[in-house]
């Protein structure tokens, strides 16, 4: 009997799910706001497998919504077409009570979208970051290689990628997001309508 218990214990231990070294949030999980400055370090994610929600249906992308946000954050305001970028519009996310404007800065996450796809807006933003001394950090969004631009003087984070015939740019701040958390938010953008 004792031998049978030892064998069952070994078998059950071998069948238990192994702890994953790469945590991905379930569909309804929000990204918690980091709790300390130490957790704000940039974490490159090149080679990280994309999360399951990156599987997109249909050939055409529609206006999107950021699903993975810090706890207590929600959509605060829309941004109409941007001067000089007529096919680019946006949405501001932040905590309850956040006044908009300003659209960007600490306590804000902005999703800019260009339909049809064009990299003109993300190029303009990364050039501004580069001119202020910003540095690129290699990451992947839904399996596609891209970069997060980090401006350490302001804390600004800029992440751009394309999904089907739409270009997206997220602008956040290190006061609220790590690089990894920003990638998770990018991978959570889903088509809201249609």
pLDDT per residue as tens digits for the range 71-92: 999 999 999 889 999 899 999 9
In a domain, 8, yes or no: no
Confidence (pLDDT) at 51: 55
pLDDT-based confidence at residue 110 (cuts at 50, 70, 90): very high
Q: Where are the alpha helices (DSSP H) in the chain?
A: 2-15, 120-131, 179-187
Contact 138, 89 (CB under 8 A): no
Whether pLDDT at 154 is above 90: yes
Q: For 148-168, what is the mean pLDDT? A: 94
Whether pLDDT at 184 is above 90: yes
Instruction: Measure the CA–CA gap between 162 and 146, rounded to whole angstroms.
Output: 10
In a domain, 81, yes or no: yes
In a domain, 11, yes or no: no
In a domain, 31, yes or no: no
Whether pLDDT at 20 is above 70: no
In a domain, 28, yes or no: no
Average pLDDT, the chain: 77
Query: Residue 186's CB: how many other CB atoms inside 10 A?
Result: 26
How many domains would you assign to the chain?
1
CATH code of residue 164: 3.40.1000
Boundaries of domain holding 130: 44-191
Confidence (pLDDT) at 55: 67
Q: Give pTM, 2 decimals.
A: 0.73
Confidence (pLDDT) at 49: 47
Phi, psi of 101 (to 5 degrees): -70, 165
In a domain, 35, yes or no: no
In a domain, 34, yes or no: no
In a domain, 38, yes or no: no
Contact 116, 165 (CB under 8 A): yes
Q: What angle do CA 57, 59, 61 make, to 5 degrees?
A: 80
């Amino acid at each position: 009997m004792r031998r049978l218990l030892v064998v069952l214990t070994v078998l059950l231990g071998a069948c238990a799910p192994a702890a994953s070294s790469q945590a991905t949030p379930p569909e309804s999980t929000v990204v918690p706001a980091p709790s300390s400055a130490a957790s704000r370090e940039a974490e490159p994610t090149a080679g990280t497998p994309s999360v399951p929600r990156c599987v997109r249906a249909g050939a055409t992308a529609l206006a999107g919504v950021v699903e993975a946000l810090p706890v207590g954050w929600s959509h605060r305001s829309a941004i109409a077409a941007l001067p000089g970028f007529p096919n680019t519009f946006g949405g501001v996310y932040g905590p309850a009570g956040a006044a908009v404007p300003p659209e960007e800065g600490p306590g804000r996450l902005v999703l800019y979208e260009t339909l049809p796809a064009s990299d003109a807006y993300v190029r303009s933003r990364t050039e501004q970051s580069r001119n202020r001394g910003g540095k690129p950090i290699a990451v992947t969004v839904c399996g596609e290689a891209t970069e997060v631009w980090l401006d350490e003087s302001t804390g600004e984070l800029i992440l751009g990628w394309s999904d089907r015939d739409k270009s997206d740019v997220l602008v956040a701040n290190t006061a609220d997001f790590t690089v990894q958390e920003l990638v998770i938010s990018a991978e959570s953008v889903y088509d809201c309508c249609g």
